Chain A
Amino acid sequence: MESNMSGPYSRLPATEGRLASQRSETPPVDLRLNHALGAAEPGQPLDQNAGVAIEVRHLNFYYGTRQVLFDISLPIRQRQITALIGPSGCGKSTFLRTLNRMNDLIPETRIEGEAIFDGENIYDPAIDVIRLRQRIGMVFQRPNPFPKSIFENIAYGLRIQRKPHRQIQEEVERSLRAAALWDEVKDRLKASALGLSGGQQQRLCIARALALHPEVLLLDEPCSALDPIATLKIEELLLSISKEYTIVIVTHNMSQAARISQYTGFFLNGRLIEYGPTAELFKRPRQRETEDYISGRFS
């Protein structure tokens, strides 16, 4: 059930049928999630007035001599959830990581094009990368808490900014609440973060990013290592914070993209094949490849 849930083809009618025909003790997770999130139709309602947080223009990316992103252009809308989907190896993670210059770590990579964030080009060599990463936070595929206490995990980003102790304490509580983790951990903030469950760890990582008040939050398959219940919690959490944060999420799970996002981009072989409001992309895809992929006909 878990694998059906998080696999990319969980929207296949056949799969849903199989899920529905299982014992009715637990309802099919797919439906329950949709129901819980109140999204019978694909896509969250759009905010028509949403501005653009990051404007990506003609982005090319190379690992050594090998080009893996080709002429990507898209707007990331403010305080909306943008989902990036596409088959494995198509460059979703690479794209996401260009947005906060995480690829700088990897030697011999090269970026062309620009991404305008708050009037500045993210790829400008002169930009303050440290400040950029504080403003554009990131959550990874595998939860990666520090081997420290829950409190220290959240406090870390503020500590290196030398924030006063009082503020740190307030922020820890605020971000744990925002990440819907406060009630579960408030009595053991001093306990090791590694003692949390996978889902709790991932929410901790989200809280850790939120503690810095980022303007944009990038998430790279944040639920792929989690069970359906934990996934549901993360999705609810993302929806609840999407009023304040611009969110970009890479996911292999198309029903997840359909459930939580306002905009979706479909990547294939390093190209952005289609980008648009989630409802349209899922109901009336304009490109043949998109249709094949979302209907599971893609190999």
Chain B
Amino acid sequence: MSQERVSLSKARQQWIGWQRILRVQRPGDLFFRGITLLFVLIVLGLVAGTAWILISNSLPTIRRFGFSFLTNKAFDPVHDVYGVLPAIFGTLMTSAFALIFAVPLGLGAAIFLVDFCPRSLRLVLAFLIDLLAAIPSVIYGLWGFLVLAPWLHNAGEPWLQQHLGFLPLFAGQPEGVGYLGAGIVLTMMILPLIISVSREVMLVTPIAQREALLALGATRWEVIRHAVLPFARVGILGGVILALGRALGETMAVTMIIGNQANEPSLSLFTPGYTLASVIANQFGEATPGLFLSAIIEAGLILFIITLITNILARWLIASLQRQAQGSRGGRP
């Protein structure tokens, strides 16, 4: 190998160098690169265009309210004063709630499906879970509104209040609709996504790694902890980000159960509230051109920015995990 490398003529080395720089070997490759580059540019163009339209159409409220749009809690078309603090809070609150419950539950379910589930059940369950992910969100919303909210109002929230009422989370008046209901619906909506992505990536853990651990007397749980999870980590995180994106932007189901009131941000999960998406869905029908419409579009702009920031953070996290994994893989010294 090394001899061969040394004996390469200088000219040939240069030629290889040029190929590297151009990163093309054949005309076919060049063509393909061109096409894929074009697609990338189209996507970038769409994102930039969306940003541009959101910004330009929300200029009236940006000019009028400036930063206070973020800190003002009234969204009041009657007096033409707008702020989205409750909606920002509600968006973050409900999404965080959903992640906190869906991630451990989803991981647990995926581990069960991959490692403990009887074979005969495995495919059926996996199929059902994928089916759950495909249910339209309005149906989750209907269920939330018709079943979950009344139950929370009559049984769930009073019970929580009675037993855990000393926590600020469960203080306040049971309303049925509110952050709690929205959080639960969101959890249910992103759970199948997290399960099925985690399952897929855990399934491809190299069998050699599993066997290496087992042959050393590792238990099944140790195999999961030391082989499956480290291997699947990056993929699972990818799934969680997808799920978070869905939770942040989910509109229909949340609008149907969150209560749609611009209340003061409160830790109490019983509070009816807003999310950015539900503000838009709720108000858009009545919007009149001018500050009102501009305020709605600015709410969209803020949602867009929040999604962008979480995605960038997540990419960065994934990249650093991958770098860490490669570091431990190491090259030969």
Given contacts A140-B211, A144-B212, A160-B222, contact A131 B217 (CB under 8 A): yes
- How distant is A152 from chain B, measured CB to nearest CB, in Å? 9
For B119, list chain A residues within 8 Å (CB). 107-108
CA distance A134 to B211 in the complex (A): 13
- How distant is B14 from chain A, measured CB to nearest CB, in Å? 30
For B219, list chain A residues within 8 Å (CB). 130, 160
For B134, list chain A residues within 8 Å (CB). none
Chain A, residues 175-213, CB within 8 Å of chain B (1/0): the string is 000000000000010011011110000000100110010
- How distant is B220 from chain A, measured CB to nearest CB, in Å? 10
Q: Are B217 and A160 in contact (CB under 8 A)?
A: yes
For B217, list chain A residues within 8 Å (CB). 130-131, 133-134, 157, 160-161, 212
Chain B, residues 209-224, CB within 8 Å of chain A (1/0): the string is 1111111111100100
For A148, list chain B residues within 8 Å (CB). 328
Chain A, residues 149-190, CB within 8 Å of chain B (1/0): the string is 100000011001100000000000000000000000000100
B209 to chain A: closest residue by CB:
A144
Chain B, residues 184-226, CB within 8 Å of chain A (1/0): the string is 0000000000000000000000101111111111110010001
- How distant is B303 from chain A, measured CB to nearest CB, in Å? 39
Q: Are B333 and A188 in contact (CB under 8 A)?
A: yes
CB of A142 closer than 8 Å to a CB of B:
yes
Given contacts A102-B211, A147-B325, contact A194 B330 (CB under 8 A): yes
- Chain B, interface size category, equals 20 to 34
Q: Are A156 and B216 in contact (CB under 8 A)?
A: yes
A133 to chain B: closest residue by CB:
B217
CB of A298 closer than 8 Å to a CB of B:
no
CB of A105 closer than 8 Å to a CB of B:
yes
CB of A138 closer than 8 Å to a CB of B:
yes
CB of B12 closer than 8 Å to a CB of A:
no
A108 to chain B: closest residue by CB:
B119
CB of B20 closer than 8 Å to a CB of A:
no
Given contacts A107-B119, A146-B209, contact A194 B329 (CB under 8 A): yes
CB of A100 closer than 8 Å to a CB of B:
yes
- B residues 255-307 near A (Cβ < 8 Å) are none
CB of A137 closer than 8 Å to a CB of B:
yes
For B211, list chain A residues within 8 Å (CB). 102, 105, 138, 140, 144
CB of B28 closer than 8 Å to a CB of A:
no
Given contacts A144-B209, A146-B209, contact A191 B333 (CB under 8 A): yes
Number of A-B contacts (CB under 8 A): 80
CA distance A67 to B207 in the complex (A): 23
CA distance A138 to B325 in the complex (A): 26
CA distance A142 to B209 in the complex (A): 11
CB of B63 closer than 8 Å to a CB of A:
no
CA distance A145 to B212 in the complex (A): 8
CA distance A298 to B332 in the complex (A): 42
Q: Are B212 and A146 in contact (CB under 8 A)?
A: yes
B207 to chain A: closest residue by CB:
A105
Which of the listed residues A108, A161, A195 has the most CB atoms from chain B within 10 Å of its own CB?
A195
Q: Are B331 and A133 in contact (CB under 8 A)?
A: no
- B residues 12-48 near A (Cβ < 8 Å) are none
- How distant is B322 from chain A, measured CB to nearest CB, in Å? 12
Q: Are B214 and A160 in contact (CB under 8 A)?
A: no
- How distant is B202 from chain A, measured CB to nearest CB, in Å? 15
Q: Are A195 and B333 in contact (CB under 8 A)?
A: yes
Q: Are A105 and B215 in contact (CB under 8 A)?
A: no
CA distance A133 to B212 in the complex (A): 11
A209: contacting residue among B208, B216, B331, B333, CB under 8 A: B216
Q: Are B330 and A192 in contact (CB under 8 A)?
A: yes
* Residues of B bordering A, CB below 8 Å: 119, 206, 208-219, 222, 226-227, 230, 325, 327-333
- Return 27 A-B CB contacts under 8 Å, by A number: A105-B211, A105-B214, A107-B119, A131-B217, A133-B217, A134-B216, A144-B206, A146-B213, A146-B227, A147-B230, A147-B328, A147-B329, A156-B216, A157-B217, A160-B216, A160-B217, A188-B333, A192-B327, A192-B328, A192-B330, A194-B329, A194-B330, A195-B330, A195-B333, A197-B332, A208-B216, A212-B216
* Residues of A bordering B, CB below 8 Å: 100, 102, 105, 107-108, 130-131, 133-134, 137-138, 140, 142, 144-149, 156-157, 160-161, 188, 191-192, 194-197, 205, 208-209, 212
Which 3 A-B pairs rank lowest in CB-CB distance, beginning with the nearest? A192-B330, A134-B217, A157-B216
- Apart from the given pairs A144-B212, A192-B329, A212-B217, 17 other A-B contacts in the complex at a CB distance below 8 Å: A105-B210, A133-B216, A133-B217, A144-B208, A147-B230, A147-B328, A157-B217, A157-B218, A160-B217, A160-B218, A161-B217, A188-B333, A191-B330, A192-B330, A194-B329, A195-B332, A197-B332
